[in-house]
Structures are given as C-alpha cells and as structure tokens.
C-alpha cells in the first residue's frame, strides 16, 4: 500500500488572531485533495482558535512542542492532555530549533515523543544535521543517533511521522536538491528497517523539511522515499501552502 502524502505547516512563533484566522479561512475555501493529509501547527495560544476555525476534513491541528507530564509545576510548558483538550491531535517534537536554540537532548526529545504517543497524540518527529555536520560527512550518523534515541523506547511507530530537516536549509534560502533528499531519506528508511523492522520502516512516512516551497515542491514528486513536506515560512502564505499540498496532483 502506498504511503499517504503528508504536508505539515509549522507556523513557529508567528501569527495573530487575525492572521491565523485569515490563513485558515483561505484553507477552508480551497479544494484540497482528499488523499493528502494536512497538519497545521500554530503557536500554542492559537491552538483552540485553529481547531474552531478549521472546516477541512483532511486538515488537523498540531502543537509545536509538548512536555513529559500531564500537569504540574512546570511553568510555560504544555502537556499532551492540554493539547488534546483543545481539540488538536498532533504535536511536533525535536524540531531543529528545539535542539539547537533550547539545547534539548536526543534522549529528552525521545522521552517527550514517547509520552505524547502514550497520551494519544500523533507525532511529527524531527531529525536532521547542521551544515558543519553535513560538511563532515556524518549526515546519516546524526540522523541515526536521533532516531535511535526514540527506537530504544518506542516500538510502535504507527503514529509517528519522521521529518528530515537539514538544519542548514531552514530559513537560509538554501535547499537540498530532490535527489539529495531522496538519497538521505532512503538511507534513513534503511536504518529504520534495522531498528524497528522492515515492515514498519516501509510504512513510516518521511517528510522533507528544508525550505520546501511552492516552486520546488513538484521536483520531489517522483522521489520514492519523500512522502511529503514539513513547511515553515511557506505555511504562512496560504496560497503557496495550498500549491504544496497539491504538488502531487
């Protein structure tokens, strides 16, 4: 069975009530493909708004981050239960900005992912290498280390989508070619086959998350191991985001 095409939109720390309402209103009016799974991730204060505004059956709402507890004295954090209470069904974990700016370790990210899954959320689990690591030729080593932290504690990857984010291609205007992305995704899938089994590895969707946009998305159309995109800046431009969602038509 072919893996379902998936497009995620990470708004990061951007948006207001007005702008997010406008973005979702544009998505609501669009004729989105019925066979494409779409997940949008607004900032936490706007999760309830996004859930209430969304009218598309193929679109779900995601948090950008969660913590490892259901509740308690953890100022500024958000629990998977709170995300679900607002009507959202997904969360991101391990985004490169969480890893690099907030210094989250592979083990902590894996722990958060495991807890989110246990509490009933689906997870977009982000991995990827920096420019220095890429130049050093250790892209797969880095990705494998990040994946292994999760596979050591999570055996069922049914509700995990992997997003490969070459950190050097995020917000820089640089992007891996579709051939580069396919080669890395193929290696990631081969590594997963060794750790979580060939069947699960063949079913896990692997997204490309490095400055995908309306112009380059169609270039990935025929890449066997690129199952969609995790979009950053372009997700704030709803017409361009819709073009990405439709890029496999």
**Burial class for 71, CB neighbours closer than 10 Å (0-12, 13-18, 19+):** exposed
The 3-state DSSP class for residue 198 equals: helix
Q: 206 has which bridge partners?
A: 162
SS3 at position 150: helix
Quick one: residue 212, left, alpha or beta (phi over 0 = left, psi -120 to 50 = alpha)? Answer: beta
Which positions are annotated as active-site residues?
Answer: 95, 165
- b/e code 109-122 from CB counts within 10 Å (16+ = b): bbbbbbbbbebebb
């Amino acid at each position: 069975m072919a893996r379902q095409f998936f497009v995620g939109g990470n708004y990061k720390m951007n948006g207001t009530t007005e702008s997010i309402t406008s973005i979702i209103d544009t998505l609501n009016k669009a004729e989105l493909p019925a066979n494409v799974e779409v997940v949008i991730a607004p900032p936490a204060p706007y999760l309830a708004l996004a859930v209430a505004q969304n009218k598309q059956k193929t679109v779900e709402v995601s948090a950008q981050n969660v913590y490892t507890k259901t509740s308690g004295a953890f100022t500024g954090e958000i629990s998977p239960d709170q995300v679900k209470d607002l009507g959202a069904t997904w969360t991101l974990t391990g985004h490169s900005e969480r890893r690099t700016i907030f210094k989250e370790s592979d083990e902590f990210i894996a722990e958060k992912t495991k807890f989110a899954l246990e509490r009933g959320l689906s997870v977009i689990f982000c991995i990827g290498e920096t420019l220095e690591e890429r130049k050093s030729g250790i892209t797969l080593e880095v990705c494998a280390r990040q994946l292994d932290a999760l596979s050591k504690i999570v055996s069922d990857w049914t509700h995990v989508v992997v997003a490969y984010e070459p950190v050097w291609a995020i917000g820089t205007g640089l992007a891996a070619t579709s051939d580069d992305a396919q080669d890395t995704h193929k290696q990631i899938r081969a590594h997963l086959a060794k750790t979580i089994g060939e069947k699960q590895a063949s079913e896990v969707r692997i997204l490309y998350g490095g400055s995908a946009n309306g112009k380059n998305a169609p270039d990935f159309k025929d890449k066997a191991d690129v199952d969609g995109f995790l979009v950053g800046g372009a997700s704030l431009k709803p017409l361009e985001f819709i073009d990405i969602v439709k890029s496999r038509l």
